[in-house]
Amino acid sequence: MRRANMEISNRLFQMEIFSAVGTVAFAFSGYLIGVRKHLDILGIVVVALLTAIGGGIIRDVLVARVPLVFFDYTNLAIIAGTLLVSWLVGLHKRQSRTLNRLFIIADSLGLVAFSITGAQVGLLFGLNAFGVVLLGFITAVGGGVVRDMMVNDIPFILHKDFYGTVSILVAAGLFIMDQTGWVGALSLQLLFLAGLLLRLFAHWSELALPKIGPDSAKG
């Protein structure tokens, strides 16, 4: 019994780490989008905030749970710290090519980290495979969709890379690991690393799902 409690505690601790990583990464990507779109300070803060917490709020609404950010300041402090550091190091002064690379890396980190934490919420609520994968997917892409719509862009997930598919695979991977009893600190880290490498490989190799339509053959 004690060993089981320790395993649960270690697992939840890992999820807190992934949540922090995802929050930093998505706040950072929101900051970069705000800079790219030439928003003012308030605009950058709003975009970064919604990118980092939007998916989690949507997820929590679906499971009838009060979003954690409404009564815990941890994520808000992480977002504030990320924005402050981003400003202090002068990221807004970098060349657009550098900003684009940083955005892809940050967005990939957030995608994979939140896919895992979102799927874990589904497991805690005892959902089936569809529910677990859906919560992981929504947590990972929800904030990015809100971000892109706010700056009048087509949401990244609808037309770019292997983006949403990576989230689905990572969340499904966690569900399978949970069902087979393979979840542990090392396996979670390997899942995170595998998801991140897949996302970056898909981007740099321009891997994408096939499109349907008369112009799809033209790419």
pLDDT for 62-104, tens place per residue?
A: 999 999 899 999 999 999 999 999 999 887 777 777 888 888 9
- Terminus-to-terminus CA distance in the chain, angstroms? 56
Q: Phi and psi at residue 214, in whole multiples of 5°?
A: -65, -25
Question: What does 144-183 look like in DSSP terms, one character per residue?
Answer: HHHHHHHTT---GGGTSTTHHHHHHHHHHHHHHHHHHT--
In whole angstroms, what is the distance from residue 62 CA to residue 82 CA? 28
Instruction: List the domain boundaries for the chain.
Output: 2-206
- Predicted structure pTM score: 0.90
pLDDT digits (tens, 9 = 90+) for 16-47: 999 999 999 999 999 999 988 999 999 999 99
Residue 17: the pLDDT is 95
